[in-house]
Structure 1
Amino acid sequence: MKVVIADDEAMIRAGIRAILDNDGGIEVVAEAGDGAAAVESVRRHRPAVVLLDIRMPTMDGLTAAAEIRRVAPATGVLVLTTFGEDDYIVRAIAAGAAGFLLKSSDPRELTTAIRAVAGGAAYLSPRVAHRVITDLAGPRLGSGAAARGRVQALTDREREVLILVGKGLSNAEIGRRLFLVEGTVKAYVSSLLSRLGVRNRVQAAILAYEAGLL
């Protein structure tokens, strides 16, 4: 599993690499010290996941996340930062990040988050997940009535898949739960994201919560 690390502090990059090098299933293929270099590294290596700090020179991590989602949509974006303010969380999700992890998290959580994002699932650090769903979803990202209206356009099967996406399941886990092959689940997820007008699974999960499905 190829991973790119982007952080403007060399010591932080070295620490992250040390953690990931101890995992035989993860290969760090590049490091970047700013957002622009991160985008170029992703363009060159096409990793499964890119770890992005938020505050970086040349191009900040949130801008880089949006650009990476444009040039390499198959690469999962995991925002890794020391900043847990609400505004950063919302902006990271809006930029297309599939995960948000604080640097103060347990190192084991880092590899868990990488695998979740690489597998097509969304990942929010437990320290911020509750705040995103309960505090930010309604007032910051939409309304319940509007969400219910958008969800009504889905087929019954798409709605089932959306509920499981909202619970944080990967495509493989959803397939096992619904007795579908993973490729079929992927097609359902792609379809429901398009029909709901959201950019990623995190936004879909929030919409499912707003619509009362979770």
Structure 2
Amino acid sequence: MYGTRAYGSGYPGYFGYGVAGRGFPFWFWPVVWGGSSDQYLHDSEYGDSFNTSRLGGPMAQANFISNSTGSTFHVLSDNSTIGSLIDSINTNCSSNLSSSSSKSPSPYNSSAPGGPQPEQAIQYYRSSSIVLTLDGYNNSATFNNNPNTTDSPLPSGVDTTLLNCLNYTVGEAAPLIDSASSRYISPSCLGFTTLVWLLWVLAHYV
């Protein structure tokens, strides 16, 4: 479930960069980054951020701002996952959040300048289908093809209390469907209860 700061982490049994050809071990598609010259970050296999075929709907984002330091974090994933996580984060981390933090998902345009960037990623989750980013962070290891490169340290003054709360909440509360080992699996392979849950999530957040 928990990955690292590397795109392609969080896949059971896989190591190294990139998401190409790895399938959907938790059903949800990996996030996509637009405009990157690095092939492993910019693969057309999953379309762009507006792809409506993505389970849970097109990509969306939410921002969470510290009420003490102003540290600004973003969570990116599919629309249904973001809607669910906003509720969990606003419940668990409310004492550390600014009132200007997100209350609902916002569409994510992977090609728009000024939005969250891959070098700002501080944690991937659920086979890289969710990512937590931090404004002002620039991880030089993101664009280094050597997987042993050390990640850049986080900038000083980051609200680590909020960061830890976000990291824990996303990792524990993210919608999860296990045991999808192949890339395309018929819904008939799902248990009835899981299928009902999935339809409920899609109806409420897509």
TM-score, normalisation: structure 1: 0.30
Q: Give the number of the structure with larger relative contact order, counting CA–CA contacts within 8 Å between residues 6 or more apart.
A: 2
TM-score, normalisation: structure 2: 0.31
